[in-house]
Amino acid sequence: MSGLRARVRRFLQKPGSASLAGYQALLPDVAGREEALGQLTDGELTTLARDTIDDAGICAVGREAGRRGLGERPFDVQLLGTLALLAGQVAEMATGEGKTLSGALAAAGYVRRGHQVHVMSVNDYLARRDAEWMRPVYDLLGVTVAWIGQGSTPEERRQAYRADICYASANEIGFDVLRDRLAVAATDLVTVDPDVVLIDEADSVLVDEALIPLVLAGSVGDTDPVQDMALIAGRLLPRLHYEVDDERRNVFLTDSGARIAEQALGGIDLYAEDNLDALTQLNVALHAQALLQRDVDYIVRDGRIQLVSASRGRVARLQRWPDGLQAAVEAKEGLRATESGEILDSITIQALVRRYPVACGMTGTAVAVGEQLREFYGLEVAVIPPNRPCVRQDDPDRLYRHAADKEEAVVAEVDTAHAAGRPVLLGTLDVAESERLAARLVLAGLPCVVLNAKNDAEEAAIVAEAGAAGAITVSTQMAGRGTDIRLGGTSGDGGEVAELGGLLVIGVGRHASSRLDDQLRGRSGRQGDPGGSVFYLSMEDELITTCAPDAARPAEVDADGRVSDAKAHWTVGHAQRVAEGTALQIHRDTWRYNVLIEDQRRAVLDYRDQALNFDAALDELEESSPDRVAELRGAGVPDEVLSEAARQITLSCLDQAWAEHLAQAASLREGIHLRSLGSSSNPFGGSLVPLQEFNRELTELFSRFTAEVSDRTVAAFQEAKITETGTDLAGAGLKRPSATWTYVVQENPFGTDFGRAVQAISRFLGRR
């Protein structure tokens, strides 16, 4: 009964999608203006566009600009997409439907209404490609466009952000926002106030990558405690002093392990509140020692640790693990610690997007994450129908008992399609699988290309050829690649390939979310092309063994290992739903830990803005230290210098205190979590109780933070040598970081607190 009720509730809560009726009603009006617009000169079109702010008008001039600028007259459905974007929704439009142009028309429309638009692209390559591709349309519409990439200079960035429309990856925008965070003069600021953001591949940015922190760090040095802990961790023995769980995601100190560590640390009690830092550091050192493997998780090159990303199969150059972990691995390998630096500030993509008063986006798969989009961003989804109906044939799953049988069947399927000349795209779940499969295909005489190119542009070129007759392409992660697969490739005969049945997509296993399966499938059958898709699975696939571990042995298995019983097929869907539910829970949980700190961050930044742009700093000091101000004025220190001194001192104290606050928040979070695992009285404390505890303690820390900043500011103002020529900040003990750098935190390989809490709970239940 309760199971049924839960299901009904889930059904009722499933967010519907927005109605298109209002948009559709505008189309005749748009069509009615087409002929007259066609008569205008380019100059007249631009002039008209500048005065057009109504929805139908924006679409009509946009259509004409698309036709002239690109030779592509936007289809009605593309205009429906534009209208959804202009209404602040996420437009779901299948791959190849022409979202780039729909988005451009919406961006121009927002500009006409007085806004400034950031188009968030998936990567630098696409930011540049799309901005340049759409430029002729924007020119005709009389709006300016620019893009930003990793190599852009501060001056180029400053200018780009001041264009009407600026294309950039979420990372680059985030890094600029973070760097601005340290500006000591208003003229150093690079970014502008956030206004409208239009997000391409919105589900990937807003859901999959939403909680990855972007970090700004500055140099400080000093990693000794980490090295000490690495030595201690290195002395502990598996099984005796610590246990590793089956999935190799967690290490637990045993009692005797804890005793040894406590002795080594001078007889402390590791689980006492005061020793949270030590417990955290030891735990991180143990993770580095026991769970991260050289040449699998990372490689050591030129005396540095470089991370290997399993899903993308590349050395991820700009990525680091969360700081303590990175330092712990360096200590384990006996490397000189790279400056982990002090985290000066960090922001998640979710928080970055939430800064914009208006957000909208587009993607091939939005409905499946409708719940998250609404919950975390207040966004509605509009489902835009395809221009021509999709005729792709999606076959039912082929399920095998063993992985080996599955692989054999995949090779046979590729062989058959290839013999007929039909292009095949194989989607795998990780790079290791891609490589294994590619090797098998080559052995079977089937030449294939594996997508693991070093850069996005190269990758795009390979994807573009995946539809050529006879092509076999093996890839992980088709999500967010942004390149469209035309039948025949870029130069071949599309008609010939269409006759063979179009592109065949073969999924070698279901992803952890059906949305990713759909993205892979969606690579075939674009714009009404023929095509097909099929997934090959086995009961040994990781999704099933982890998310449905108790699945019964399949009852009906034929001679080549293929499973036909309905129960087993149901299990696959069930496992995927479990994985999706867990991912949502993790997202929710992680976000809850972020909410308070984001609020605090906003309060600090508001204050900082006041100090940076106005005389707030001096005003405040005049109130708190009137004597000192009078004294300095008396010594003839002019008001501009005094005001600048107050500003510099206030900003230094504030930034330093914020960095310390962030560090405290991080260790508080980790520590509370470890404490809840360590104390057997609270085995269910995995999620809610620690969150309340965390929020309570963080609020308390922050209440002290404000007082602390003003105390420090006053003290420094008393002490600092301020003369008519300027202020000696260093003399007053204030330092600005000598260098700063930015990076993306690689997802913690051991999962989130939530994942660990689940495991703690199941261990507890298991023990009883």
Contact between 98 and Mg ion (CB under 5 A)? no
- Residue 218 corresponds to which amino acid? G
Stretch that binds Mg ion, among 42-50, 91-99, 115-123, 318-326 (CB under 5 A): 91-99
How far is the C-alpha of 606 from the C-alpha of 37, rounded, in Å?
47
Distance CA 132, CA 125 (A): 11
Q: Where are the alpha helices (DSSP H) in 142-169?
A: 154-161
Distance CA 551, CA 184 (A): 60
Q: What's the min distance (Å) between Cβ of 355 and ligand ADP?
A: 25
Q: Binding residues for Mg ion, how many (CB under 5 A)? A: 2
Side chain identity at residue 293, one-letter code = Q
Quick check: 361 binds Mg ion (CB under 5 A)? no
Check binding of 93 to ligand ADP (CB under 6 A): yes
Q: From CA 266, how far away is CA 260, in angstroms rounded?
A: 10
Interface with ligand ADP (CB under 6 A), residue from 57, 62, 98, 257: 98
Q: What is the dihedral of CA 666, 667, 668, 669, to 10 degrees?
A: 60
Of residues 149 and 386, the one with the C-beta less far from ligand ADP: 386
Mapping DSSP to helix (H, G, I), strand (E, B) and coil, where does residue 567 land? Answer: helix
Give Cα separations from 201 to 88, 100, 329 (angstroms).
15, 10, 34
Buried b or exposed e, range 410-443, using 16+ CB within 10 angstroms: bbebbeebbeeebbbbbbbbbbebbeebbebbee
Lookup: tokens for 649: 């001192």
Q: Which is nearer to ligand ADP, 164 or 529 (CB)?
A: 529
User: Between residue 70 and residue 89, which ones bind ligand ADP under the rule CB under 6 A?
Assistant: 72-75, 78
State which residue, 236 or 360, has the beta carbon closest to ligand ADP.
Answer: 360
> Is 481 a residue that touches ligand ADP (CB under 6 A)?
no
H or E stretch including 250?
Answer: none
As given in the structure block, the two tokens for residue 658 are: 């914020």
Nearer to ligand ADP, 467 or 532 (CB): 467
Task: Fill in the per-residue mask, 484 to 503: x = in contact with ligand ADP (CB under 6 A), - = not in contact.
Answer: x-------------------
Q: Which is nearer to ligand ADP, 72 or 697 (CB)?
A: 72
Question: What residue 74 binds from ligand ADP, Mg ion, none (CB within 5 to 8 A, per partner kind)?
Answer: ligand ADP
Select from Mg ion, ligand ADP, none the partner in contact with residue 484, using the beta carbon and a kind-dependent cut-off of 5 to 8 Å: ligand ADP
CB of 306 to ligand ADP, least distance (A): 32
Q: State how far the Cα of 423 lies from the Cα of 504, in Å rounded to an integer.
A: 6
* Cβ count near 147 (within 10 Å): 25
The vertex-554 CA angle with 549 and 556, nearest 5°, equals 170
Strands 740-745 and 213-218: antiparallel
Residue 65 CB, nearest approach to ligand ADP (Å): 12
- What are the tokens at 460? 């795009």
Residue with tokens 């928080």: 351
Under DSSP, is residue 596 helix (H, G, I), strand (E, B) or coil? Answer: helix
Nearer to Mg ion, 74 or 482 (CB): 482
Least Cβ distance, residue 483 to ligand ADP (angstroms): 7
Q: Is 97 in the site for ligand ADP (CB under 6 A)?
A: yes
Of 142, 482, 502, 755, the residue at the interface with Mg ion (CB under 5 A) is 482
- Minimum separation from the CB atom of position 121 to ligand ADP (A): 11
Which range binds ligand ADP by CB under 6 A, 82-90, 97-105, 149-157, 342-350? 97-105
Cα–Cα distance, 571 to 567 (Å, whole number): 6
Per-residue x/- marks for Mg ion, 680-709, CB under 5 A? ------------------------------
Kindly give the interhelix angle for 639-678 and 276-290, rounded to the nearest 10 degrees.
Answer: 70
Give the nearer residue to ligand ADP in terms of CB position, either 67 or 569. 67
96: contact with ligand ADP by CB under 6 A = yes
Which range binds Mg ion by CB under 5 A, 24-32, 153-161, 479-487, 560-568?
A: 479-487
- Which of ligand ADP, Mg ion, none interacts with 96 (beta carbon under 5 to 8 A by kind)? ligand ADP
Q: How far is the CB of 705 from ligand ADP (least distance, A)?
A: 45
- Please choose, out of 96-104, 265-273, 571-579, 689-697, the segment that lies near ligand ADP by the rule CB under 6 A: 96-104
Stretch that binds ligand ADP, among 67-75, 247-255, 278-286, 696-704 (CB under 6 A): 67-75
95 binds ligand ADP (CB under 6 A): yes
- The residues that bridge with 383 in the sheet, in sequence order, are 92
Tokens of 205: 């940015």
Tell me if 101 contacts ligand ADP by CB under 6 A. yes
Question: By the 8 A CB rule, do 59 and 30 touch?
Answer: yes
What minimum distance in Å lies between the beta carbon of 477 and Mg ion?
Answer: 15
What does 734 bind: ligand ADP, Mg ion, none (CB cut-off 5 to 8 Å by kind)? none
Shortest Å distance, C-beta 57 to ligand ADP? 19
Decide whether 366 or 557 has the Cβ nearer to ligand ADP.
366
* Spatial separation of the C-alpha atoms in residues 17 and 574, rounded to whole Å: 25
Residue 75 binds which entry of ligand ADP, Mg ion, none, CB below 5-8 Å type-dependent: ligand ADP
Site string for Mg ion, 254-293 (x = CB under 5 A): ----------------------------------------
Q: How near is the Cβ of 582 to ligand ADP at its closest, in Å?
A: 29
- Identify the three-state secondary structure at position 694: helix
Residue 392 binding ligand ADP, by CB under 6 A: no
Determine if 580 is a binding residue for ligand ADP (CB under 6 A): no
Between 99 and 422, CB nearer to Mg ion: 99
For 20-74, give the DSSP string. Answer: -HHHHTTHHHHHHHHHHHHHS-HHHHHHHHHT--SHHHHHHHHHHHHHHHHS---
Q: Torsion over CA of 219, 224, 229 and 231, rounded to 10 degrees?
A: 120
Least separation, in Å, of the C-beta of 580 and Mg ion? Answer: 24
99 binds ligand ADP (CB under 6 A): yes
3-state secondary structure of 145: strand
- Continuous segment of H or E residues that includes residue 521: helix 514-521
97 binds, among Mg ion, ligand ADP, none (CB under 5 to 8 A by kind): ligand ADP
- Contact region with ligand ADP (CB under 6 A), list: 95-103, 120-128, 223-231, 727-735: 95-103
482: left (phi over 0), alpha (psi -120 to 50) or beta: left
Question: In angstroms, how far is the first alpha carbon of the chain from the final one?
Answer: 28
- Least spacing, CB of residue 523 vs Mg ion, in Å: 12
**DSSP string across 274-297:** GGHHHHHHHHHHHHHHHT--BTTT
Rounded Cα–Cα distance for residues 21 and 18 (Å): 9
Q: Which is nearer to Mg ion, 200 or 620 (CB)?
A: 200
Taking the CB of residue 467, how many other CB atoms lie within 10 A of it?
Answer: 28
The partner in contact with residue 103, picked from Mg ion, ligand ADP, none with C-beta cut-offs of 5 to 8 angstroms by kind, is: none
Of the ranges 17-25, 99-107, 239-247, 437-445, which one interacts with ligand ADP (CB under 6 A)? 99-107
Minimum separation from the CB atom of position 127 to Mg ion (A): 12
**Cα separation of 669 and 676, whole Å?**
11
Instruction: Give the count of residues interacting with ligand ADP (CB under 6 A).
Output: 14
Nearer to Mg ion, 482 or 488 (CB): 482
On the CB side of 265, how many CA atoms lie within 13 Å of its CA? 25
CB 432 within 8 A of CB 572: no
What sign has the CA pseudo-torsion 593, 598, 601, 603? negative
| Of 82, 89, 100, 475, the one binding ligand ADP by CB under 6 A | 100
Position with the least CB separation from ligand ADP: 98
List of residues contacting Mg ion (CB under 5 A) = 99, 482
List of residues contacting ligand ADP (CB under 6 A) = 72-75, 78, 93, 95-101, 484
